[in-house]
Amino acid sequence: MSSDHIYLDNLLDHYRNPRNYGEIKNPDFVIEDANLSCGDEVKFFVKFDKNKNVIEDIKFVSRSCAVCKASASILTELVKGKPISFVNSLTKKDVLNFFGGRIDPSREKCALLPLRALQSKTKAIEEDSHKNQKDLF
């Protein structure tokens, strides 16, 4: 079998046994996003420590292809216990590195959906806190 594809052991492992899969009761926030054009949907549940600005706990559910699900699974492992500044510092390149550094252009959207979803919230939080700091001075 040719191994010139992205469904390598790491991806398949996260697809078959997604980490942090499921819901959190009483989350501090829930984030949902979808690539409607291909039918990928992902939903994150986040416990957030406002004082420390840290993601205390995170889980997800998805209705999606393997690339999107594995990407979300790897992402939750990466960001759990981390400050949101870390989440916001993650880039497309970091996600592609989950999959050995390259991904077919047609599948990039699938891989990037989870990070885009999560950052839509974490970036807003960071901006708000900057604004509040400015207000203090």
Partner 1 sequence: MFDPNDIRHDFPILNVKVNGKPLIYFDNAATSQKPKQVIEAIENFYFLKNANVGRSIHTLAEEATELYFQSRKKVADFINATPEEVVFSSGTTESLNAIANVVAEKFLNPKDIVVTSILEHHSNLLPWVKVCKEKSCALKVVNANKNWTINIEKLEALLKEGAKVVSLTHVSNVLGTINPIKEVSKLVHSYDAILVVDAAQSVPHMPVDVKDLDCDFMAFGAHKMLGPMGTGVLYLKKRYADLIEPWNLGGGMIKSVKLLNEVPELSCCKVTYEDTPIRFEAGTPNVEGAVGLSAAIDYLSKLGMNSVLFHERQLVKYLLENLKGNSFEVYGPKDENSITGIVSFNLKGIHAHDVAYLLDKLAGIAVRSGHHCAQPLVNILGTVATVRASFYIYNTIEEINAFIEALKEVEKMLK
- The residues binding partner 1 (CB under 8 A) are 1-2, 4-5, 7, 12, 15, 36-41, 63-67, 104, 106-107, 110
φ, ψ of residue 104 in degrees (nearest 5): -60, 140
Residue number, 8 or 30, with CB nearest to partner 1: 8
Nearer Cβ to partner 1 (11/75): 11
- Cα 97 from Cα 76, distance rounded (Å): 15
CB nearer partner 1, residue 68 or residue 84: 68
Nearer to partner 1, 84 or 117 (CB): 117
CB of 135 to partner 1, least distance (A): 43
Collect all residues with Cβ–Cβ distance below 8 Å to 22 and sequence separation of at least 6. 59, 61
Q: Long-range contacts of range 124-131, CB-CB < 8 Å, 24 or more positions apart?
A: 125/48, 125/53, 125/84, 126/84, 126/85, 126/88, 129/53
Bridge partner residues of 58 (DSSP): 46
**Residue 86 Cβ, how far from partner 1 at the closest point, in Å?**
30
Cβ 69 to partner 1 shortest distance, Å: 9
